[in-house]
Amino acid sequence: MEEEPAAAVARNRKVVLRGYIDRAPREDDMELVDGGEVALRVPGDAGGGPAVLVRNLYLSCDPYMRGRMRDFQGSYIPPFKPGSPIEGFGVGRVVDSTHPGFSAGDIVSGMTGWEDYSLITKPEQLTKIQPSDIPLSYHLGLLGMPGFTAYVGFYEICSPKRGEFVFVSAASGAVGQIVGQLAKLDGCYVVGSAGTNQKVELLKEKFGFDAAFNYKEEPDLAAALKRYFPEGIDIYFENVGGPMLDAVLLNMRVHGRIAVCGMVSQHGVTAPAGIHNLYTLISKRVEMKGFIQSDYAHLFPQFVDDITKHYRDGKIVYVEDMSVGLESGPAAFAGLFSGKNVGKQVVCVSQD
């Protein structure tokens, strides 16, 4: 019997977590290391079941990943392991596969490692991306987890009605920019907040928000919201928490809805800010609900169909902030927490 030829090999760089943190992430909390050579073939002992080896093309930077950088086991997703590659959503090209659903050359999206090559031992969690006119990186934003978060949060939690007043915080980010555009498509009045005047202009000129403001230039957030919503807020899509949430609570209308998607202002805080105005939930009969997009996985095909149609019809636009090279990943991720990104933050690892 002839021996099977040796598999080709490649160098595999990795971005690893250096250690757990209890503050906002910094670039030096992560380190690019040489992971040595990797055989470009699924190994025979790949966890005992079918597996897929991918070359990572694009990696997603998402605020929830901050929660995995602390030593806390009580969340819906386990923490990263110090010294091991960071994990996140990515788009990659299949190099080799022992799973019947995937073949070399396929483009897939799903959870992967921050490295050049990743061995996926749960390939059933991957999604095959069909060739189309939509940029591959958009499957990490517009057609990925952030887009789906916007979609289910707005429609399933907020139940919008034409003519309602909608406020979106962190509105130029990966989720907020889509929420605002969906709200406009549904005939709502939409205001967004952001942290720079450049982002404020983007909200109004690019995404079609009715109004927007720089929250850093507002000494009294409750008064600012009263100025933009003299009749109050029907729907608040919550991305930041802290003082903004407190101010919104004072400005909600009766039977308003708040979808709690994230609280990025609290991610690097060891003593999170307290909320003082929760009593308005009672007097205004406001519904406030936290959610995770994966709880609504059954709606994902409908979401892809709807958003793809809106995009192709020119009814939704999307803005990315692309960093090039795996080595740029730590700075790109850390920048999320100081508002450096304009639009969805993505790292381009390879385009081949």
Number of domains in the chain: 2
Average pLDDT of the segment spanning 195-217:
96
Average pLDDT of the segment spanning 88-92:
97
pLDDT in tens, 46-59: 667 899 999 999 99
Looking at the fold, whether 129 and 244 belong to one and the same domain comes out as: no
CATH classification at residue 27: 3.90.180.10
Q: What is the DSSP string of 281-315?
A: HHHTT-EEEE--GGGGGGGHHHHHHHHHHHHHTTS
Residue 270 pLDDT: 58
Looking at the fold, whether 245 and 152 belong to one and the same domain comes out as: yes
The CB-based long-range contact list for 320-325 (8 Å cut-off, 24+ gap) reads 320/137, 320/138, 320/141, 320/344, 320/345, 320/346, 321/345, 321/346, 322/137, 322/346, 322/347, 322/348, 323/347, 323/348, 324/348, 325/349
Looking at the fold, whether 274 and 164 belong to one and the same domain comes out as: yes
Tell me if 54 sits within 8 A of 120, measured CB to CB: yes
pLDDT at 341 over 90: no
Tell me if 238 sits within 8 A of 167, measured CB to CB: no
**Domain contains 151:** yes
Give start and end residues of each alpha helix (H) in the chain.
145-152, 176-185, 197-205, 221-228, 243-251, 280-283, 300-312, 329-335
Helix/strand/coil percent split, the chain, to 5: 30, 30, 40
Average pLDDT of the segment spanning 304-323:
96
Residue 238 pLDDT: 94
**Domain contains 313:** no
**Cα(239)–Cα(236) distance, integer angstroms:** 9
pLDDT at 346 over 80: yes
User: Pairing relation of β-strands 52-60 and 87-97?
Assistant: antiparallel
Which residues constitute the domain of residue 91? 9-141+318-348
Kindly indicate the confidence band of residue 195, based on its pLDDT and cuts at 50, 70 and 90.
very high
CATH classification at residue 256: 3.40.50.720
User: 3-class DSSP state for residue 177?
Assistant: helix
Average pLDDT of the segment spanning 52-81:
91
Residue 23 pLDDT: 87
pTM of the full structure: 0.90
**Cα(328)–Cα(179) distance, integer angstroms:** 28
Residue 351 pLDDT: 81
Task: Report the percent of the chain where pLDDT is more than 70.
Answer: 95
Looking at the fold, whether 86 and 187 belong to one and the same domain comes out as: no
Residue 269 pLDDT: 52
Token look-up 């996140």 returns 88
Looking at the fold, whether 124 and 244 belong to one and the same domain comes out as: no
Residue 1 pLDDT: 45
